Copies of this chain bind each other. A is one copy, B any other.
Amino acid sequence: MSGQQTTLGDRKYGILGTGALGGFYGAKLQKAGLDVHFLLRRDYEHVRQHGLIVESKDGDFTLPQVNAYNDVTKMPKCDVVVVALKTTQNHLLPQLLPPVVKENGVVLVLQNGLGVEEEVAQILGEVKVIGGLCFLCSNKVGLGHIRHLDYGHITLGEYLPAYSQAGITERMQQIADDFQSTGIGMDLAEDLLLARWKKLVWNIPYNGLSVILNASTNELMADTYSRTLVEQIMYEVKAGANSMGRIIPDSFIQTMLDYTVKMTPYRTSMKIDYDEHRPLEVEAIIGNPLRKAQSAGLDLPQISCLYHQLKFIDTRNQKEQKN
């Protein structure tokens, strides 16, 4: 653990990607009194002049003034740099991260899928990387304008090389304290890789099939064939986790199925991206887990089927956007 102790509020936060997710968490941190710096692209001019608006089921608020940047080299070095881009933008990370991460700083990856912490660690060398799994239902509805619909809690897990189990570190606890001071529920996971695979049990079948079959979660659960396919794919995810030495119990799969039947009909993040003609997070959510299992000698044929179908759909969807 670092010898530099900091107390609540001392840490400077950098938010890379001020959209539905980064904008929401960043605004909450600033509202709680932390020093937050936002990187923006399209919304930069608007947010620089007018700040951020958050409509939230937990209470609306506005931040008339925020530290807005459109160039990472103009940002101060931050203690915690939050990667809140879509994974489809991760080819930018080698340019974005080095200028903004303080020595002894932490990168907090708030993204879907698998393998991003490893990529970040390769870019930055010795810097600590923490993964965060967000359970958040939130949209950007206008320039600098975020609508938080439901949920919001985050599970943190620290990355160690080759995803060895890191346990609960003081860094994780400090970041969790900062977020908790804003009212966001935080869990700490001893094993980031296990936490990521467990989230994939839900994310792979529902994100994938919602796009391929043009269906909401309740439609997928109401039909016996699609429900069976969801379950079969969940068991492939379990096998993938197992190929990397992580055990997901069968009971967890049943819990996910039951939970999804009971939840409000839900449009997955990949379906929203599809409907908006944005690039799909196929590689992070489906391609990376598939390749990790293949590297461990395990074929996941149904997930491979989804992967190839989604790559075809994504390419066509991007072309239709341009036409």
| A146 contacts across to B, CB distance below 8 A | none
Q: Are B212 and A308 in contact (CB under 8 A)?
A: no
The verdict on A226 contacting chain B, using a C-beta distance below 8 Å, is yes
Interface size on A, residues (CB 8 A): 25
Is residue A215 within 8 Å, beta carbon to beta carbon, of the partner chain? yes
- Residues from 204 to 218 in A contacting B, C-beta threshold 8 Å: 209, 212-213, 215
**Residues 287-312 (chain A) with a chain B CB within 8 angstroms:** 301-302, 304-309, 311-312
| With A212-B212, A223-B315, A315-B223 as contacts: A229 and B309 at CB distance below 8 Å | yes
A-B contact pairs, 30 of them (CB 8 A): A209-B309, A212-B212, A212-B309, A215-B312, A223-B311, A223-B312, A223-B316, A225-B307, A225-B308, A225-B309, A225-B311, A225-B315, A226-B308, A226-B309, A226-B311, A226-B312, A228-B308, A229-B305, A229-B308, A229-B312, A232-B301, A232-B305, A232-B308, A301-B301, A301-B302, A301-B305, A302-B304, A302-B305, A305-B305, A305-B306
Contacts of A220 in B (CB 8 A): 312
Q: How far is the CA of A301 from the CA of B232 in the complex (A)?
A: 9
Main SS at interface, chain A: helix
Identify which of residues 177-225 in chain A touch chain B, using a CB-to-CB cut-off of 8 Å. 209, 212-213, 215, 219-220, 223, 225
Docked Cα-Cα span, A214 to B119, in Å, equals 35
| A223 and B226 alpha carbons, distance in the complex (Å) | 26
